A and B are shown apart, each in its own frame.
Chain A
Amino acid sequence: MLEIKNLHVKLEEEDKQILKGVDLSVEAGKVHAIMGPNGSGKSTLSYVLSGRDGYEVTEGEATLEGEDILDMEPEERAAAGLFLAFQYPVEIPGVGNMTFLRTAVNSQRKARGEEEMSAADFLKMIRAKAKELKIDADMLKRPVNVGFSGGEKKRNEILQMAMLEPKMCILDETDSGLDVDAMKLVADGVNALRDAGRGFLVITHYQRLLDHIKPDVVHIMADGRIIKTGGPELALEVENNGYADLLAEVA
């Protein structure tokens, strides 16, 4: 599904290398987790994949179902099936959540040459999905993320993911700022989307989220590289011993 090979990335504005050769392959139907200390490059990886400005790919490649995504505009990547759940979802005053989502759904359909979703079908779908995530009608009407609590913002990300039905979902520290109940709700939302055709890349600091979203593969990232890959037990190891041992191992 998602293939990343030898990805090197530096900041555009300063000569600072952030990713120093990332290799990663996420298969359809699998959940991969990336853990790692602060500053290891986890969020940069998610931003580069989704097409945010400010980064320069100096080497390597990233493909989604065989298609090179690094040359695509952010909206083309989205239409191709990539979705990033933001660590800090952006507030957009003046744009209603519902309008935003409907525009997004239909923009992607149009880009893929599919028919637009009718207003009635859209309403039916969003009501059902919102209910599962305990998002009330008021939250749908309000401007995107404006005045939302941390938990509401993250639930709203998952709602977008559910509505857009991407092939490849990247979750960037979706657990940050969530209490236990909110995390459960978000995890349930993600689990509901797990199926054989969809890949997940879950970026997190903590093992806790992985109790709820069970990963198939866990990667440890440090200093711009994946330094270790293993099964779910690797996350527990980090939880118990921290990163220090792992870092020492590869040093």
Chain B
Amino acid sequence: MALPQIKQDATDARLAALTLPDGGWSDTARQEAVARVRNMGLPGARDEYWKYTRPDTLVQPDAPKAALFEAEETPVFGEVDRLKIVFVDGVFDAEASDDLAMEHVTIDRLADAADIHWAKDLYGVLETRGQTPVHRPLAALNTAFATDGVLIHVTGKAPKPVSLIYRHESETSDAILHHVVKVESGAELTILENGPAAARFNKCMEIDIADGGVLHHVRAQGRDPERRAATAMFVRLGSESVFKSFTLTANGVLTRNEMVVELTGDDAIAHVAGACVGDGDFHHDDTVFITHDALNCESRQVFKKVLRNGATGVFQGKILVKEGAQKTDGYQISQSLLLDEDSQFLAKPELEIYADDVACSHGSTSGAIDEEGLFYLRSRGIEEGPATDLLTLAFLAEAVMEIEDESLQDEINGRVEAWLTRRRG
């Protein structure tokens, strides 16, 4: 079917501005991805899943300029013993990174990987699976044109987290990164991600977790107020495997985080959580799609957004329970704390269930700060500003607590506290 002209033009313009990298073993996958992009067209304002978020600046050929953040601050996860992999404006920086070697984990740079590589079976494969029933053209664009990224193979319990650090140094950088992670049966890894990355960042991560594998993912996205990001994670879980992901987003004029999870083996567990704090020119969109396609699996979506001065939060979360996926336990909550009347939260929870013995619940709320609680805190001598901050942290706590590791919880809470204090001036 032909694309609408406006979408055709936008897609052509974007593709014309990009050059297909020499991908070696990934060449076929990249060419197929180009075909997918041509076929779907890049997102347009009329697309069902782009109703609440304007895709134009993510699609246009050049990245809109984004100023660098000036304030001094200690980067997040600074206290965590981790293997650091640094990208500057989307380019791997060997100098700043640790040796890409750790017990039970092999890491290759996408650009360097040898011709026959395990990632060949996954690169673009999980992304392709995630294109049905909802199109995610920016992820296909990523598969085709990614210039860098890492391929992480986990064969046992990793001794420390792999930390992906995205630095932003150029005001006009347009970065496309693609990572592939394969967690073997019984293996376990924690992946950390942080940093503003680029003026415009398109990041895709494909994750395959074999039976009994465990992957924890904690991300702190933020800083530069003018940066833009479209990220997508495609996760496939085998039986009795576990995937737990948490994202904190602070600042950024536009962020779209897509999370596509497929529970394909029995007794698997997938938890995805997010907290965002937005002030002013801030648009944050969480789009989540969880498919239950096996018995007795559990999924949780916990998303909390604090919005003020006209900030916008979007949540589109879906649980699809396929035929035969009995004993599914699905839970979804999305809540916003609106600190003034100019901010808005747009939520679209969706459940689609084709099995009869399942428990799925969902809820969505918007509210202001609890006046009773605020008065109680103030009556004990806590000033209005700090009291509001305390209640804000409390509001986000349910999402932050989804992080299993308490020291990582502390890192995230510390980050939110710093943000709140800074905003208070």
Taking beta carbons and an 8 Å cutoff, which residues of A are in contact with B?
50-53, 73-75, 77-79, 84, 86, 89-95, 99-101, 103-105, 107-108, 111, 143-144, 160, 164
Contact = CB atoms under 8 A, between A and B. Distances in A.
Contacts of B122: none
B78 interface: no
Contacts of A73: 378, 383-384
Most buried by A among B375, B381, B386, B390: B381
A124 to B, nearest CB: 20
Interface string B348-385: 00000000000000000000001111011111111110
B391 A92 contact: yes
Nearest to B380: A104
Given A90-B373, A100-B390, A50 B379 contact: yes
7 contacts: A74-B375, A78-B378, A78-B379, A92-B370, A94-B396, A95-B393, A108-B380
B224 to A, nearest CB: 29
Interface of B: 370-373, 375-384, 386-387, 390-391, 393-398
A95 B379 contact: no
Nearest to B371: A53
Contacts of A103: 382, 386, 390
A118 to B, nearest CB: 18
A101 B371 CA distance: 19
Contact of A111 (B371, B373, B381, B398): B381
B158 to A, nearest CB: 31
B393 A104 contact: no
A94 B394 contact: yes
A74 B379 CA distance: 5
A90 B380 CA distance: 12
Given A90-B372, A94-B398, A51 B393 contact: no
A104 B381 contact: yes
Contacts of B383: 73, 75, 107, 111
Given A100-B390, A103-B386, A92 B376 contact: yes
A94 B393 contact: yes
A95 B391 contact: yes
B379 A84 contact: yes
Contacts of A111: 381, 383
Given A107-B383, A107-B386, A93 B378 contact: no
Contacts of B378: 51, 73-75, 78
Contact of B376 (A90, A105, A108, A164): A90
A52 B393 contact: no
A92 B381 contact: no
B394 A164 contact: no
Contacts of A143: 394
Nearest to A143: B394
A78 B376 contact: no
A134 to B, nearest CB: 22
Contacts of B396: 94
A111 B384 CA distance: 13
A92 B382 contact: no
Nearest to B397: A94
A75 B380 CA distance: 6
A56 B123 CA distance: 67
A198 to B, nearest CB: 17
A95 B391 CA distance: 7
A53 B370 CA distance: 13
B393 A75 contact: no
A44 to B, nearest CB: 14
A108 B381 contact: yes
Which 4 A/B pairs are nearest by Cβ-Cβ distance?
A: A94-B394, A78-B381, A94-B397, A108-B381
A230 B398 CA distance: 52
Nearest to A166: B381
Most buried by A among B380, B390, B398: B380
A93 B390 CA distance: 11
A93 B394 contact: yes
Contacts of A107: 380-383, 386
A73 B386 CA distance: 14
B379 A92 contact: no
Given A78-B381, A79-B381, A95-B391, A86 B371 contact: no
Contacts of B372: 90
Contact of B379 (A51, A91, A93): A51
A160 B380 contact: yes
B297 to A, nearest CB: 28
Given A86-B376, A92-B376, A100-B377, A75 B382 contact: yes
Contacts of B394: 92-95, 143
Contacts of B382: 75, 103-104, 107
A52 B377 CA distance: 11
A91 B373 CA distance: 7
B246 to A, nearest CB: 16
A108 B373 CA distance: 18
A78 B375 contact: no
Most buried by A among B377, B390, B395, B397: B377
Given A75-B381, A107-B381, 20 more contacts: A74-B378, A75-B382, A77-B379, A78-B378, A86-B379, A89-B376, A90-B372, A92-B377, A92-B394, A93-B397, A94-B394, A94-B395, A95-B391, A99-B390, A103-B382, A103-B386, A105-B381, A107-B382, A107-B386, A160-B380
